Amino acid sequence: MSEYGQVKLGKLKLKGGEKSKKKSKKNKRKHDEEGGESSSSTKAWNEETKKYHGWWPLKTFEDLGCGIVAVQTSFKNSYIFAVDNGTLRLGSEHDDHLEAIPMEEEIFTLIKISENKIAFKSGYGKYVSVNARGDVMARSEAVGPQEQIEVVIENEKIALQGHNGYFITINDEGDFKALSRTAKDKEIFILRSNVSRNKKKKTLNEEEEAGDVRQFEINYVKQFQSFKNNRLKLHEGPSSSLEKARNKGKLHEAMLDRREKMKADRYCK
């Protein structure tokens, strides 16, 4: 059902591993004064990661390139749950220590678009989007403006802002809406990943910037096109338009427009 597998967390290597035991009292006192707060923060981070069986919390914009995430609410120990009809619901509470690991339907692929903009892809292969009414659904086949979600981080707390300028929140019926002007408890989310922090992988955005746009379009079309006579049908327009779109950060949107134009031409013939 899911298009991705869970990645086990490797052994965490922290800065300043084993050092010589021979330290002067002066150096030790200086180290405690300068790094005491950092050590306390690291200890708390390790304890929380252990509690969630290796699912560590994202705290910075650099962490957004991790690839696999579960989206947890801050006011309730529950994750966002993707349904096969494209709706998003709040999953059951993970009160028991053994149930802290998110279920398969609660795992998303995180795609980093820019420093502070991301997209979520559910295990059903659909992207999360915010429509004109502020509804948050997972039904899109590609990433356009409505699928781009801005991450706002303050004091290591994360809020998710839709393209309409409103924060994603949960209403009393358990529906996800991007209709909140402010970020309070119900607008704060915890993004967790079990991908090793030491394992650096190319993000989709980096691959787009480095690769050939025509080849990227071929890979994109292969995801959706049903082949007849084993022939791949591509848009006949020049790839130079894709180059221009990539330079403007709108490559996904341009490819979606080309695909929709091909559909329109087919029905008009």
Select, from the ranges 27-36, 61-70, 76-85, 145-154, the one with the highest average predicted confidence (pLDDT).
145-154
Q: Of all helices (H) and strands (E), which one includes residue 257? A: helix 251-268
Identify whether the C-beta of residue 65 lies closer than 8 Å to the C-beta of residue 109.
Answer: no
Residue position matching structure tokens 């002007």: 181
148-172 as b/e: b if 16+ CB within 10 A: bbbbeeeeeebbbbbbeebbbbbee
What is the mean predicted confidence (pLDDT) over 45-55? Answer: 80
Dist CA 214 CA 222 (whole Å): 12
User: What tens digit of pLDDT does each residue of 252-265 get?
Assistant: 777 777 777 765 54
Identify whether the C-beta of residue 94 lies closer than 8 Å to the C-beta of residue 187.
Answer: no
Higher pLDDT, 201 or 53: 53
Say what the pTM is. Answer: 0.62
Q: For 84, which DSSP code? A: T
What DSSP string describes 145-198? Answer: GGG-EEEEEETTEEEEE-TTS-EEEE-TTS-EEEEESS--GGGEEEEEE-S-TT
Within 10 angstroms of residue 127's Cβ, the number of other Cβ atoms is 24
Domains and CATH numbers, the chain: 42-193 (2.80.10.50), 204-261 (no CATH)
Identify whether the C-beta of residue 127 lies closer than 8 Å to the C-beta of residue 121.
Answer: yes
